Amino acid sequence: MKAVRFHEHGGPEKLQVEDTPIPEIGPGEVLIRVKACALNHLDIWIRQGIPAYRIPLPHVSGCDVSGVIERMSEPDAQGLSMGQSVFISPGLSCWHCEQCLGGRDNLCPSYQILGAQVDGGYAEYVKVPTVNALPIPDGLTFEEAAAFPLVAVTAWHMVVTLAKVRPAETVLVMGAGSGVGTMAVQIARVVGARVFTTVGSEEKVAKAQSLGAEVVINHASEDIEKRVHHLTEGRGVDVVIEHIGEKVWDQCIGALVRGGRLVTCGATTGGQVKLDVRVLFSRQLTLMGSYMGTRAELVEAAKMVGVGKLRPVVDCVMPLSEARNAQERLLARQIFGKVVLTTM
């Protein structure tokens, strides 16, 4: 099969299209013929190399996959069948430990992410545990089915499970053009919140509004904290959903109402932030870290996608052979939604 791999960490030029053996499945696994694979910033960090992820090389990236079941270790396992169209739940858990049995599988001690610690979907075939293969919601293309799993489960965990956003609350979602941002805006609206969001150019304003944002702040020309306080008559927002990190941290904290909650899942501009603990306790703020989400949360989000309450946002579709150019496009930060690779 064809696969895009890197043999050493470094820049996008390390990605190579190569012939590799088709994965052999074991008990409890399925082989998926990949139709589409969406990019995530995690693909960039893994390729660059980070201490938290020690992976065998060469490596195949790709967390978000849709495709067709090519081979099964057990016929009709999990209600699936040969030739069925599926998307992949990207979180890999043991399903035996206390956390998994308690429905907190993203806290599993052996938790891994497809395409991070194990080979992923930048390939014509990928193998996964059968429990991770889920039927594609009706009406979705393979490209759309690959564009929502990781960002939907992440945003759902942040907005619904951790922040517990309630109707009529005001939520600030940072970076509406990102994958997590596109989903967080929509999920907060589905919950019934008033949603503010940010973008980096005027070209993205209308797209963010189409997702349900009431107010779109262009952070390239506006001070986020000042605009939020103007919009809320000095009150601030109840919740901030954040994944950018260092560059916007102070404004995110400053935008919160007294007693507000901030949930963060990333640090694309750096992870070293300052925090005055006196601000934390005197304003009674709650800061929460979020990492992925549970399989059950992904199933709930997929139901919303299936009935049209959430929609995957695809920026562009490129062939698998253009994986390097696709990552460079992601790094340029000019996209709105997901960049998707296809093998078709």
Mean pLDDT of the region 304-316: 96
- What would the mean pLDDT of 282-298 be, rounded to a whole number? 97
249 belongs to a structural domain: yes
> How far is 201 from 214, CA to CA, in rounded Å?
17
Identify which of 174, 187, 192 has the alpha carbon closest to the alpha carbon of residue 254. 174
- Determine the average pLDDT of the residues in 272-292: 95
Average pLDDT over residues 78-91: 95
Same domain, 139 and 195: no
Q: Supply angle C-alpha 56, 61, 64, rounded to 5.
A: 135
Residue 344 has pLDDT above 80, yes or no: no
Copy the structure tokens of residue 303.
């139901």
Q: What type of residue is 87?
A: F
Please tell me whether residues 142 and 178 are part of one structural domain: no
pLDDT at 98: 97
Is the residue at 245 inside a domain? yes
| Domain shared by 15 and 125, yes or no | yes
**Residue 112 corresponds to which tokens in the numbers above?**
């891994």
Claim to verify: residue 34 and residue 144 sit in the same structural domain: yes
Does the pLDDT of residue 53 top 80, yes or no? no
Helices 41-48 and 323-331 meet at what angle, rounded to 10? 110
Same domain, 96 and 211: no
Cβ atoms of 42 and 338 closer than 8 Å: no
179 and 203 inside one domain: yes
Give the residues across from 126 on adjacent strands: 32
CA distance linking residue 281 with residue 161, whole number of Å: 23
Q: Are residues 35 and 138 in the same domain?
A: yes
Provide the domain limits for residue 220: 152-289
What mean pLDDT comes out for the span 292-306? 97
Does residue 117 sit in the same domain as residue 173?
A: no
Give a yes or no: residue 27 inside a domain. Answer: yes
Q: What are the tens digits of pLDDT across the range 164-178?
A: 999 999 999 999 999
Residue 302 lies in a domain: no
Q: Which residue has the tokens 């800061």?
A: 287
One domain, residues 127 and 161: no
Q: Are residues 70 and 166 in the same domain?
A: no
Give 97-135 pLDDT, tens digit per residue: 999 999 999 999 999 999 999 999 999 999 999 999 999
Q: Would 229 be classed as within a structural domain?
A: yes
The backbone torsions φ and ψ at residue 274, rounded to the nearest 5 degrees and listed phi first, read -100, 145
Give the total number of structural domains in the chain. Answer: 2
Query: Which tokens in the block code for residue 55?
Result: 């992976």
Indicate the average pLDDT of the chain. 95
**Residue 220: is its pLDDT beyond 90?**
no
Average pLDDT over residues 179-189: 97
Report which secondary-structure segment, H or E, holds 67: strand 64-72
User: Residue 246 falls within a domain, yes or no?
Assistant: yes
* Integer Cα distance of 340 and 164 in angstroms: 31
Would you state the pLDDT for residue 221? 87
3 state DSSP class of 238 = strand
The CATH number that applies at residue 92 is: 3.90.180.10
**Percent over 90 (pLDDT), the chain:** 90
Whether 75 maps to a domain, the answer reads yes
Residue 300 maps to a domain? no
Quick one: pLDDT at residue 162? 98
**Residues linked to residue 287 through DSSP beta bridges, in sequence order:** 262
Give the HSE-up count for residue 112: Cα atoms under 13 Å, Cβ half-sphere: 19
Across 201-224, average pLDDT: 93
Structural tokens at position 221: 């020309």
Residue 339 above 90 pLDDT? yes
Please indicate, yes or no, whether residues 161 and 279 belong to a single structural domain of this protein.
Answer: yes
Co-location of 184 and 124 in the same domain: no
pLDDT of residue 75: 83
Nearest to 311 by CA among 135, 168, 187: 187
Nearest to 189 by CA among 160, 161, 162: 160
